[in-house]
């Protein structure tokens, strides 16, 4: 009788342990699933900007969702296909996305075209104008809202600690050690930080950026040779 009671107690104890193990495994599975879903949600979209000089692959930041979603929309709709890099300044940036540039005549001034709406500014302290940054162009406006279609890619030049220190004081920001080092070695345009929205960066094709930036230009900074683009979401 005592043995039978002991056996039942053992069986009950084993059953409880089994339940605990199952629950623990379920918790681990749910945690892993949540982490995988989070990683999927955090995955950043990559867009290919194809030119006669080669392909520039740009990763869009999730921290700037309005600009990210708008650029994806423009790419999927083909709005930017056939537009030019209409403003090129060596050591500064290359700018494109003006719808009026699609059928522009030689020598025609460009840069005023739009798609009829703007995007609210999305400034993030850690998203800086380091070489390869994809940023939104804009007109002068009090809220610093971005153009719905025009953008630029930063080439820039190496910055000094003095410049970066001055920016930190003026803007009330703190550069990360990595961004500070990138500014000093790779280069960029730190004076544009917190003034124009940065919403992506080049992950492949910095050499293509340099090739385009080196093209000779006419007065008004339009390249003498038309540099057309197609823009496509690739992942």
Task: Provide CB contacts within 8 A for 149, sequence distance 6+.
Answer: 74, 79, 80, 97, 98, 99, 113, 114, 115
Same domain (yes/no): 182, 77:
yes
Query: Measuring CA to CA, which residue among 126, 135, 136 is closest to residue 179?
Result: 126
CA angle, 66 then 67 then 70, to 5°? 85
d(CA 89, CA 79): 24
Q: What does the pLDDT look like over 30-43, one tens digit per residue?
A: 444 444 444 445 79
Residues 169 and 99 both lie in one domain: yes
Looking at the structure, do residues 220 and 106 belong to the same domain, yes or no? yes
What pTM, to 2 d.p., does this model score? 0.83
133 and 32 together in one domain? no
What range does the domain containing 76 cover?
44-233
Give the number of domains in the chain.
2
Cα distance between residue 54 and residue 51, in whole Å = 5
Tens digit of each residue's pLDDT (9 = 90 or more) over 60-119: 999 999 999 999 999 999 999 999 999 999 999 999 999 999 999 999 999 999 999 999
Residues 32 and 135 in one domain: no
11 and 79: one domain? no
Phi, psi at 23, each rounded to 5°: -65, -40
């Amino acid at each position: 009788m005592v043995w039978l009671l002991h056996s039942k107690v053992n069986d009950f104890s084993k059953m409880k342990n089994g339940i605990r193990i199952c629950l623990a495994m379920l918790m681990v599975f749910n945690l892993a699933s949540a982490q995988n879903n989070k990683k999927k949600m955090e995955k950043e979209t990559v867009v290919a900007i194809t030119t006669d000089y080669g392909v520039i692959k740009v990763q869009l930041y999730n921290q700037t969702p309005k600009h990210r979603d708008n650029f994806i929309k423009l790419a999927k709709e083909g709005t930017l296909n056939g537009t030019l890099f209409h403003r090129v300044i060596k050591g500064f940036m290359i700018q494109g996305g003006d719808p009026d540039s699609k059928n522009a005549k030689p020598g025609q001034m460009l840069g005023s075209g739009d798609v009829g709406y703007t995007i609210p500014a999305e400034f993030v302290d850690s998203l800086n104008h380091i070489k390869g940054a994809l940023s939104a162009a804009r007109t002068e406006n009090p809220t610093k809202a971005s153009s719905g279609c025009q953008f630029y890619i930063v080439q820039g030049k190496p910055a000094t600690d003095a410049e970066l220190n001055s920016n930190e004081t003026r803007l009330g920001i703190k550069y990360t050690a990595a961004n500070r080092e990138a500014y000093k070695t790779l280069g960029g345009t730190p004076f544009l930080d917190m003034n124009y929205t940065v919403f992506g960066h080049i992950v492949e094709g910095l050499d293509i950026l340099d090739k385009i930036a080196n093209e000779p230009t006419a007065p008004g900074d339009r390249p003498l040779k038309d540099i057309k683009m197609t823009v496509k979401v690739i992942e």
